[in-house]
Amino acid sequence: MRRGWLPLLLLVAIASVVSAQGARVVVEDWSKISVGHKGVPPGWKTQSWGSPKYDFEIVSDGSSRVLRLLSDGDSSTINKEIKIDCKDYPILQWSWKVVTLPKGADARKKATDDEAAQVYVTFPRFPAAVRSRVIGYIWDTTAPAGLTFKSEKTGLVTYIVMRSGEADLGKWFTESRNVCEDYKKIYGEAPDEKIEALSIGIDSDDTRSRAEAFIGEIFFKKP
C-alpha cells in the first residue's frame, strides 16, 4: 500500500451507482462485465501513485464471473465510490481466492508490505490526507490471521489479517466482517462518518515478486 492513495479515493469525480437490494447493498458482482475484459473494470477508478500495471481480467468461475488480479513487482489498487452507513449495513461480505503469495512478504514491516489480496474501506475525515480512517482486510504471506495492526507506511491504514500463508491457496473463501465493530475495536468509538470508498488491490512491489488472486462478489448487508 502506497502513500497518496487516499486523496484519490475521496476525490473521485463521478460516483459509481451501487444497487440496494433489500437487506443488502451490492458493491460489485462482476456480472455486467464481459468475460475477457482486461485492465480496470468499468465503474472502478485507478490509483494516483507508483507504477501500477492493472494486470486484471474478468474470468469465468463456474457460473459466476470474478476478477483475476496479477502482480509482478508492482502495486495495483482500484476503488469505487460508495455511500454506506455501517449502522444500517454493518456487515461487509466478499469472496476471494489466492493462488500465489508475494514471496517473503510481511505486512507488519514497511520494507515487505505486500499482500496477494486486499479489501479496504475508507471513512473520510477532514482533512482527508491526515485524518481519514481506513481498514484494510488482507491475505498476508507471513503475518498471522487474526492480527490487527497499523501500516508502517501510512498511519491512516489499519490492517486486519483475514488469512495467512500457503495452507489455503487455491481455495475459495467467503469472508464476513462487521465493519462497525472492527472500527470500534480499532478506534475506541463508533464511526460518525459513512464509508465513502471501497478498494481492492494486489501488491508485490516491495518484495519484487509475483502474486495472483481472484475476487468475487462484494456487498454490505444488514445483521
Q: Where are the strands (E) in 124-156, listed by range?
A: 133-140, 148-150
Q: Which three cell numbers stand for residue 43?
A: 465503474
pLDDT, residue 49, reads: 81
Q: Give every CB contact of residue 218 below 8 A, 6+ residues apart in sequence.
A: 26, 27, 28, 29, 92, 93, 94, 119, 198, 200
pLDDT, residue 2, reads: 53
pLDDT, residue 142, reads: 98
Report the relative pairing of strands 19-21 and 75-84 from DSSP bridges: unpaired
How many domains does one find in the chain? Answer: 1
Burial 120-154 (b: 16+ CB within 10 A, else e): bbbbbeeebeeebbbbbbbbbbbbeeeeeeebebb
Q: Give every CB contact of residue 140 below 8 A, 6+ residues apart in sequence.
A: 105, 106, 107, 115, 159, 161, 163, 164, 165
Q: Which three cell numbers stand for residue 206?
A: 516491495
CB-hemisphere CA count at 13 Å for 40? 14
Give 88-108 pLDDT, tens digit per residue. 999 999 999 999 999 999 999
Q: Give every CB contact of residue 77 below 8 A, 6+ residues apart in sequence.
A: 1, 5, 47, 52, 118, 120, 199, 200, 201, 202, 203
Give the separation between CA 89 and CA 142, rounded to whole angstroms.
Answer: 31
Give the separation between CA 7 and CA 45, rounded to whole angstroms.
Answer: 12
Q: How many CB atoms lie within 10 A of CB 202?
A: 31
pLDDT, residue 130, reads: 77
Q: Say what the pTM is.
A: 0.89
- Give the residue numbers spanning the domain of 151: 5-221
Give the separation between CA 105 and CA 205, rounded to whole angstroms.
Answer: 10
**pLDDT average per 10 residues of sequence, the chain (223 residues):** 46 37 89 98 92 97 96 97 95 98 98 98 86 96 98 93 97 98 97 94 97 98 94
127 prior amide bond cis, ω within 30? yes
CATH of the domain at 72: 2.60.120.260
Instruction: Phi first, then psi: give them for residue 192, nearest 5 degrees.
Output: -90, -25
